[in-house]
């Protein structure tokens, strides 16, 4: 093992609005750096190969898996996790959409999905057309079958729905006896 | 319910029930504030543990030398089989799996040793320094010939075999106008919960060991762990924390034995969290099934005879395999249909192919895949519509079940079929020419609730008033995202006339009430039954206390939002009751046996039955053979819906899991090696693979039905696979009987047909 893995060096970056310095080996994944002191446990390992999105963070506003970001890449970067987005309008809109549609079950993957959606909404506000389905194509959920996520995206987060709850509701259909 | 009551049908959406507020639990989860067992890094003095897994699928263990590992930096303890304080075995049905192997390894994930160190990197470095000498033994890799191979356990490789009989099948086959015989295979599916197996063990000098883990039965795990750790049952506490998915894969013990031994050895809390590579290699899987089915009917399509010969590969250890075999066979008798005579037999064998156990569907969905495919094959032979063939043979609600046991449906099966027949998915899709072949197919499935077959199956709960004045409801069930807390809260609010914020639900603590395992779709039934028993007692006790405190007669008091009311006016809040009343007098406990058929001396099968019909529409790519499921429409008859978003999510989630099993998911074993090691090779459905889904609930249970609530955690997976393969057949003319559907195989078959025609 070389020094990338062993010798600790200070790295300074912005985490949820605060400047932080951590002394870690340069090859430490951001995933471990955020979790191991118990500070940002919403960033969760699912595969450690960048496939599942459970460890997503926003790096300079872009959703990225924290398992693939190494400590040496961090200086000067702005990292956000859901712990720091309590007042962020895009996050609040995403949160409301997920709640309205019960788009989660166990919730382990949910912060990662939320960050992918926030990243998409931010990009859209900068004038880029963004398909939010594409934005979450790299996030895996094993519980829901994506039904609630689909409804959240289509009903509450589409470009024409400006607020969180204006997406209209599917009417509850009740039929007695014979089907139509 | 009489057989001509059609019941009412409702298309589900995700709105909170009765316009209520969404559960606060959802916010906690989205904001990352729910701590999972593998998030507990703030536990003081926490060490990291890691497990050494076998390099061979089958070998004699000649030497395990941990001397160098013990001297490595940061290492606090290294443990092997010699360090297991009590019984070095575990297993829910048969205790045949070693915590740490003594002299032999039987699969690649077998545990040999474990290390606790200050950091995970140090623990892993120490694992690499453990020297192990193996003498490889010959492998048992083919389940169908396992019994002729070298025995992996005393008593040979046939763990168990079972046959269900009815009538005289040979005679019945002789009378058939048409007989179809086919072989089916289903994959070794992986649970692929997003939170892999993990948790922490905390030693406690006075008490023993406290586990905070992802698991499915705190009480049962505590019993097994006490035996392993040589502690009295009261010295082991298991807190089944809210966990990131389970689906059966956390039913058996996972990291707990190693973490517990390391915690006792070091005197420190120890976390073990398998990474995905280790989870793929060592974790439970679904039993792969190889089955031959022979089914015959008369010229009118009436089923007369059915024969099933199945082999289930349980891998190196039994786990819940024997119970899976029973449920497989139960479903292989075709519970929805009248069949005059059958012989349904299966063998459960040991191999070196990983280890298999509980998985949503529990053998039932594997059987239903084959049964429903057989019906389609008969319909084709008779040139009859597959729906018509089903209609002719479906049981009525007044008939006994396929094993001649009393059963209780919530709607007539033929009505479920009728709803499926009316699905909009049967209308042809526009523009389906050219590259894309489209087709629609359907299948039906039945599923019973509860452990079945007369197994002990009780569950209990408790209700009390917390110090802060909230209605505290405790059950032993685990929360892995199935909305059980929300369903309990909703039911309690309905009876007490209170709000969700008045109620606190506490789940999964082995010191709390024992509700039995969170499996077999049993929780909803028991929650409903137990609440019905204990809520009236508790309300009475609270009113008595309120009467003492206020002077009003108890009979004039009523429960309402936030407290107790007299003539429509709140006279005491729950908080005031908690402050001034005797809290110990405001407790009610109840438990009940899982509902089984009345007057049955030797119960077989399951009494409470559910049904589903799934209609699937697919598009098959003629260039690649890839299948895309565009729509799934489910009709469920599974009793009353308590919490609509939870019900909807269970059906949709299970269906997409079934879609994965049908199209992409398999963990193939070659020479005892599982060939996929992470989620880049083992492909579970993504957002773009998920079809549009619709769930219609058909419920004919009358108001006074004693069992109006059923568990739907497994129902959604039951009929998905045969519905998809039926749709593929409708699109291409090719029937696939080996899952997952290989695009290359399908493409070759499509081209072969095109050449012929």
Determine phi and psi for B259, rounding to 5 degrees: -65, -40
Read off the tokens for B31. 């904001």
- Do B497 and B388 fall into the same domain? no
Structure tokens, B60: 């004699």
Q: What's the CATH number where B167 sits?
A: 3.30.365.10
Residue B149 lies in a domain: yes
Which tokens is B269 given? 């809390």
* Chain B residues near residue A99 by CB distance under 8 angstroms: 22, 26-27, 30
The residue from B393, B419, B447 where one domain ends is B393
Q: B328 and B213: one domain?
A: yes
Smallest Cα distance from B40 to chain A, Å: 7
**Cα–Cα distance measured from residue B334 to residue B364, given in angstroms and rounded to the nearest whole number:** 10
Same domain, B387 and B498: no
Q: Is residue A175 part of a domain?
A: no
- Assigned domain for B724 exists: no
Q: Where are the alpha helices (DSSP H) in B605-742?
A: 644-663, 720-732
Question: Cβ-count burial of B455 within 10 angstroms (0-12 exposed, 13-18 middle, 19+ buried)?
Answer: middle
Indicate if B308 and B217 belong to the same structural domain.
yes
Chain A hits for B29, CB-CB cut-off 8 Å, are 104, 106-107, 110
CA distance B567 to chain A (A): 36
Query: What separation in angstroms does the CA of B397 have from each of B8, B337, B446?
Result: 16, 11, 13
Contacts of A5 in chain B (CB under 8 A): 121
- Residues B113-133 as b/e (b if ≥16 CB within 10 A, e otherwise) read bbbbbeebbbbbbbbebbebe
**Residue reference for tokens 């453990």:** B130
Residues A70, A96 share a domain: no
Assess whether A36 and A96 both reside in one domain: no
Residue A73 and residue A102 share a domain = no
Closest-approach residue (CA) in chain A for B193? A142
In a domain, B505, yes or no: yes
Question: Domain check: are A77 and A100 in the same one?
Answer: no
Give the model's pLDDT for residue B326: 96
Q: Is the Cβ–Cβ distance between B66 and B123 less than 8 Å?
A: no
Judging contacts by C-beta atoms under 8 Å, the chain B residues touching residue A177 are 6
One domain, residues B149 and B223: yes
Which residues of chain A make contact with B419, given a CB cutoff of 8 A?
Answer: 179
Which residues from chain B sit within 8 angstroms of residue A103, using beta carbons? 14
Residue A173 domain flag: no
Q: Are residues A108 and A147 both part of a single domain?
A: yes
Within this chain, do residues A12 and A36 fall inside the same structural domain, yes or no? Answer: yes
A96-130 residue pLDDT tens: 999 999 999 999 999 999 999 999 999 999 999 99
The last residue of one of the domains, among B577, B593, B609, is B593
Are A180 and B422 within 8 A, CB to CB? yes
CB within 8 A of A67, min separation 6: which ones? A29, A30, A31, A45, A47, A48, A49, A50, A55
Question: A174 and A166 in contact (C-beta within 8 Å)?
Answer: no
pLDDT of residue B97: 98
Which A-chain residues 150-169 have CB contacts (< 8 A) with chain B? 150-151, 169
Alpha helices in B175-302, H assignment, sequence order: 218-229, 256-266, 276-282
Provide the H-helix boundaries in B594-718.
644-663
Q: What's the confidence (pLDDT) of residue B537?
A: 97
Minimum Cα–Cα distance from A176: chain B residue: B8
Look at residue B629 in the predicted model and tell me its pLDDT.
98
Place of tokens 């997503």: A56
Whether residue B367 lies inside any domain: the answer is yes
Regions of chain B with pLDDT less than 50: 1-5
- Which chain A residue is nearest to residue B41, measuring alpha carbons? A38
Rounded Cα distance between B757 and B752, Å, is 9
Query: Is A2 contained in some domain?
Result: no
The per-residue pLDDT for range B637-667, each reduced to its tens digit, is: 999 999 999 999 999 999 999 999 999 999 9
**How far out from the chain centre does Cα B206 lie?**
36
> Cβ distance B302 to B379 under 8 Å?
no
Which tokens hold the place of B621? 């790519």
Same domain, A12 and A75: yes
Contact A104 B194 (CB under 8 A): no
Structural domain contains residue B398:
no
The answer to whether B118 and B74 have CB atoms below 8 angstroms apart is yes
In the numeric block, the tokens 């009987």 are attached to B737
As for how many domains chain A has, the answer is 2
Residues A70 and A121 in one domain: no
Find all residues with CB under 8 Å of A134, minimum gap 6, and list them: A120
Q: Determine, yes or no, domain membership for B27.
A: no
Residue B606 tokens read as: 């399951």
b/e map A99-128, b = 16+ CB within 10 Å? bbbbbbbbbbbbbbbbbbbbbbbbbbeeee
pLDDT value at residue B429: 72
Task: Answer yes or no: do B464 and B583 share one domain.
Answer: yes
B490 with B362, same domain: the answer is no
- The answer to whether position A163 is within a domain reads no
Query: Which residue's structure tokens are 């040139």?
Result: B383
Q: Which chain A residues are closer than 8 Å to B14 by Cβ?
A: 100-103, 148, 151
* DSSP secondary structure string for all residues of B289-345: EEEEEEEEE-TT--EEEEEEEEEEEEETS-TTHHHHHHHHHHHHT-TTB--SEEEEE
Q: Are residues A13 and A54 in the same domain?
A: yes
Strand B436-448: give its sheet, edge to edge. A174-176, B8-11, B692-699, B627-637, B609-621, B436-448
- Tell if the CB–CB gap between A179 and B418 is shorter than 8 Å: yes
CATH code assigned at A56: 3.10.20.30
CA atoms of B653 and B655, how far apart (whole Å): 5
Q: How many Cβ pairs within 8 Å bridge chains A and B? A: 212
Indicate yes or no: CB of B684 within 8 angstroms of CB of A140.
yes
pLDDT per residue over B151-199, tens digit each? 999 999 999 999 999 999 999 999 999 999 999 999 999 999 999 999 9
Do residue A143 and residue B646 have CB atoms under 8 angstroms apart?
A: no
In this structure, the answer to whether residues B480 and B365 fall within a common structural domain is no
Which domain range does residue A134 map to? 89-156
**What is the C-alpha separation between B748 and A119, in angstroms, rounded?**
43
Is residue B216 in some structural domain?
Answer: yes
**Per-residue exposure over B321-354, b if at least 16 CB sit within 10 Å of its own CB, e if not:** bbbbbbbbbbbbbbbbbebbbbbbbbbbbbbbbb
Considering the domain architecture, whether residues B319 and B462 belong to the same structural domain is answered as no
Residue carrying the six token digits 């089955």: B291
* Residues 6+ away with beta carbon under 8 Å from A165: A96, A100, A156
Q: Which of B368, B393, B418 is the last residue of a domain?
A: B393
Cα–Cα nearest to A83, from A44, A28, A49: A44
CA angle B482, B488, B494 (to 5 degrees): 135
Closest Cα in chain A, distance from residue B478 (Å):
11
d(CA B50, CA B95): 23
Cis peptide before B740 (omega within 30 of 0): yes
DSSP assignments along B442-502, one per residue: EEEEEEE-SS-TT---EEEEEEEE-TTS-EEEEES---SSS-HHHHHHHHHHHHHT--GGG
Tell how strand A78-80 and strand A8-15 pair up. parallel
User: What is the reported pLDDT for B685?
Assistant: 98
Domain co-membership, B474 together with B556: yes
Would you say B656 and A146 are in contact if contact means Cβ atoms under 8 Å apart?
yes
CA distance B228 to B18: 48
Picking from B25, B27, B372, B45, the residue whose alpha carbon sits closest to that of residue B200 is B45
Q: Please give the tally of structural domains in chain B.
A: 2
**A113: closest CA among B666, B643, B26, B37?**
B26
Nearest to B678 among A49, A150, A173 (CB): A49
Residues B240 and B329 in one domain: yes
Predicted pLDDT at A10? 95
Beta-bridge partner residues of B199: B213, B272
User: What per-residue string of b and e applies to B138-155 under the rule 16 or more CB within 10 Å gives b?
Assistant: ebbbbbeebbebeebeee
Instruction: Mark whether A67 and A104 lie in a shared domain.
Output: no
Instruction: Note whether B290 and B154 are same-domain residues.
Output: yes
pLDDT of residue A6: 75
Give CA–CA dist B419/B600, Å, rounded.
33
Residues A121 and A149 in one domain: yes
The boundaries of the domain holding residue B517 are: 458-593
Q: What is the CATH number of the domain that holds A93?
A: 1.10.150.120
One digit per residue, pLDDT tens: chain A, 180 residues?
566 777 899 999 999 999 999 999 999 999 999 998 888 999 999 999 999 999 999 999 999 999 999 999 999 999 999 999 999 999 999 999 999 999 999 999 999 999 999 999 999 999 999 999 999 999 999 999 999 999 999 999 988 764 433 333 333 333 333 333
In a domain, B209, yes or no: yes
């Amino acid at each position: 093992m070389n020094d990338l893995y062993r010798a600790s060096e200070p790295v300074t970056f912005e985490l949820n609005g605060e400047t932080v310095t951590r002394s870690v080996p340069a090859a430490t994944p951001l995933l471990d750096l955020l979790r191991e002191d118990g500070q940002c446990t919403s960033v969760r390992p699912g595969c450690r190969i960048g496939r599942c999105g459970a460890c997503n963070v926003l790096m300079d506003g872009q959703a990225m898996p924290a398992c693939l970001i190494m400590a040496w890449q961090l200086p000067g970067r702005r990292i956000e996790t859901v712990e720091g987005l309590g007042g962020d309008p895009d996050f609040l809109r995403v949160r409301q959409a997920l709640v309205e549609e019960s788009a989660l079950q166990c919730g382990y993957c949910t912060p990662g999905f939320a960050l992918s959606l926030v990243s998409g909404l931010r990009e859209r506000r900068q004038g880029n057309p963004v398909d939010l389905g594409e934005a979450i194509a790299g996030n895996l959920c094993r519980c829901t079958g994506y039904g609630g996520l689909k409804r959240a995206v289509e009903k509450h987060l589409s470009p024409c729905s400006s607020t969180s709850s204006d997406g209209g509701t599917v009417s509850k259909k009740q039929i007695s006896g014979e089907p139509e | 319910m009489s057989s001509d009551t059609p019941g009412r049908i409702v298309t589900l959406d995700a709105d909170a029930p009765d316009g209520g507020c969404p559960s606060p639990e959802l916010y906690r989860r989205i904001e990352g504030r729910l701590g999972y067992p593998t998030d507990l890094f703030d536990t003081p003095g926490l060490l990291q543990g890691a497990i050494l897994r076998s390099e061979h699928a089958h070998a004699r263990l000649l030497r395990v030398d941990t001397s160098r590992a013990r001297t490595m930096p940061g290492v606090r303890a290294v443990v092997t089989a010699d360090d297991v304080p009590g019984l070095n075995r575990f297993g829910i049905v048969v205790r045949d799996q070693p915590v740490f192997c003594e002299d032999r390894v039987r699969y690649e994930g077998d545990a040999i040793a474990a290390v606790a160190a200050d950091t995970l990197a140090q623990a892993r470095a120490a694992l690499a320094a453990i020297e192990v000498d193996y003498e490889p033994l010959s492998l048992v890799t083919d389940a169908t010939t396992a019994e002729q191979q070298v025995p992996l356990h005393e008593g040979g490789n046939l763990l168990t075999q079972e046959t269900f009989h009815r009538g005289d099948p040979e005679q019945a086959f002789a009378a058939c106008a048409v007989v179809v015989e086919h072989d089916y295979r289903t994959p070794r599916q992986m649970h692929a919960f997003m939170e892999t197996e993990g948790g922490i063990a905390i030693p406690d000098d006075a008490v023993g060991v406290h586990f905070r883990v992802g698991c499915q039965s705190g009480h049962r795990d505590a019993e097994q762990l006490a035996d392993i750790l040589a502690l009295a049952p009261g010295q082991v506490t298991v807190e089944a924390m809210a966990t990131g998915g389970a689906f059966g894969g956390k039913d058996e013990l996972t990291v707990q034995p190693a973490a517990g031994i390391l915690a006792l050895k070091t005197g420190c809390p120890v976390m073990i969290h398998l990474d995905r590579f280790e989870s793929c290699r060592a974790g439970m899987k679904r039993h792969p099934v190889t089955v031959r089915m022979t089914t015959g009917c008369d010229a009118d399509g009436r089923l007369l005879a059915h024969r099933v010969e199945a082999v289930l590969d349980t891998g190196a250890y039994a786990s819940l395999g024997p119970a899976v075999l029973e449920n497989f066979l139960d479903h292989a008798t075709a519970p929805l249909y009248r069949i005059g005579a059958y012989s349904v037999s299966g063998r459960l064998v040991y191999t070196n192919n990983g280890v298999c156990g509980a998985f949503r569907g529990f053998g039932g969905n594997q059987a239903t895949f084959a049964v429903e495919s057989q019906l389609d094959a008969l319909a084709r032979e008779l040139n009859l519509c597959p729906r018509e063939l089903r209609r002719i043979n479906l049981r009525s609600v007044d008939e006994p079940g396929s094993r001649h046991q009393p059963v209780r449906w919530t709607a007539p099966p033929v009505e479920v079929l009728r709803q499926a027949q009316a699905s909009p998915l049967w209308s042809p899709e526009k523009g389906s020419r050219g590259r894309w072949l489209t087709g629609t197919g359907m299948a039906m499935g039945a599923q019973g609730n509860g452990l079945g077959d007369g197994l002990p199956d009780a569950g209990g709960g408790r209700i009390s008033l917390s110090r802060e004045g909230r209605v505290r409801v405790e059950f032993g069930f685990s929360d892995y995202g199935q909305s059980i807390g929300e369903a309990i809260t909703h039911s309690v609010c309905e009876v007490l006339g209170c709000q969700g914020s008045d109620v606190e639900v506490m789940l999964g603590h082995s010191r709390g009430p024992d509700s039995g395992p969170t499996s077999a779709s049993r929780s909803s039934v028991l929650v409903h039954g137990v609440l019905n028993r204990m809520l009236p007692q508790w309300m009475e006790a609270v009113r008595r206390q309120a009467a003492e405190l206020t002077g009003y007669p108890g009979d004039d008091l009523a429960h309402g939002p936030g407290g107790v009311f007299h003539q429509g006016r709140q006279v005491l809040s729950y908080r005031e009751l908690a402050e001034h009343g005797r809290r110990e007098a405001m407790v009610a406990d109840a438990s009940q046996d899982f509902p089984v058929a009345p007057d049955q001396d030797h119960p077989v099968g399951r009494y409470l039955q559910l049904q589903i019909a799934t209609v699937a529409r697919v598009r098959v790519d003629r260039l690649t053979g890839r299948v895309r499921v565009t729509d799934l429409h489910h009709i469920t008859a599974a009793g009353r819906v308590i919490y609509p978003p939870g019900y909807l999510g269970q059906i949709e989630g299970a269906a997409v899991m079934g879609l994965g099993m049908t199209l992409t998911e398999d963990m193939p074993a070659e020479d005892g090696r599982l060939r996929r090691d992470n989620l880049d090779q083992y492909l579970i459905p993504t957002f773009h693979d998920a079809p549009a889904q619709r769930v219609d609930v058909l419920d004919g249970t009358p108001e006074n039905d004693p069992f109006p609530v059923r568990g739907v955690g497994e129902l959604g997976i039951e009929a998905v696979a045969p519905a998809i393969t039926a749709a593929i057949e409708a699109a291409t003319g090719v029937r696939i009987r080996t899952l997952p559907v290989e695009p290359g195989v399908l493409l070759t078959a499509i081209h072969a047909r095109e050449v012929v025609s």
